[in-house]
């Protein structure tokens, strides 16, 4: 299956070998469009690898409730506003991984989520 690429960003390694790569694809599902993304970053403070999915048509509170219940997540490790105040980030620890749910609740946007699984940055 060949999926349409939404984003393909690659910074060449700098003199220290630091880089960032991001690629995402459109998933044209019958339930609506979704985006699948992967990224990798190597820098002076951390090495991070992530994968995530976004869904613009999902009720954020319903999704969060179902996610916590289905995955038996319990209390989040942290919950707060993004640096720009436009979204809420809820983070659960899962061993050496973290699961982050981002939604637009600070802007009273009830639809749309981004779910991200990432390694705990090493350094």
Full domain range(s) for residue 49: 5-119
The answer on pLDDT for 10 being more than 60 is yes
Q: Tell me the pLDDT tens digit for each residue of 23-71.
A: 999 998 888 889 999 999 998 888 889 999 998 888 888 999 999 999 9
- Supply the pLDDT for residue 72: 93
- Distance, CA of 57 to CA of 47 (rounded, Å): 32
Q: Tell me the pLDDT tens digit for each residue of 83-117.
A: 888 888 999 988 888 999 998 877 777 778 889 99
| CATH number, domain with residue 101 | 3.40.1000
Query: Domain count of the chain?
Result: 1
Which residues, 6+ apart, have CB-to-CB distance to 98 below 8 Å? 77, 91, 92, 117, 118, 119, 120
DSSP state of 122: B
> What tokens does 59 get?
């009720």
């Amino acid at each position: 299956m060949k999926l349409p690429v939404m984003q393909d960003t690659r910074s060449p390694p700098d003199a220290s070998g630091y880089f960032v790569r991001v690629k995402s694809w459109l998933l044209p599902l019958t339930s609506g469009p979704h985006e699948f993304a992967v990224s990798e970053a190597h820098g002076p403070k951390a090495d991070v690898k992530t994968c995530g999915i976004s869904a613009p048509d999902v009720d954020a509170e319903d999704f969060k409730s179902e996610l916590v219940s289905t995955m038996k997540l319990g209390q989040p490790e942290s919950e707060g506003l993004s640096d720009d105040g436009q979204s809420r980030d809820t983070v659960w620890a899962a061993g050496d991984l973290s699961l982050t749910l981002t939604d637009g609740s600070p802007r009273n946007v009830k639809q749309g989520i981004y779910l991200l699984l990432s390694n705990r940055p090493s350094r």
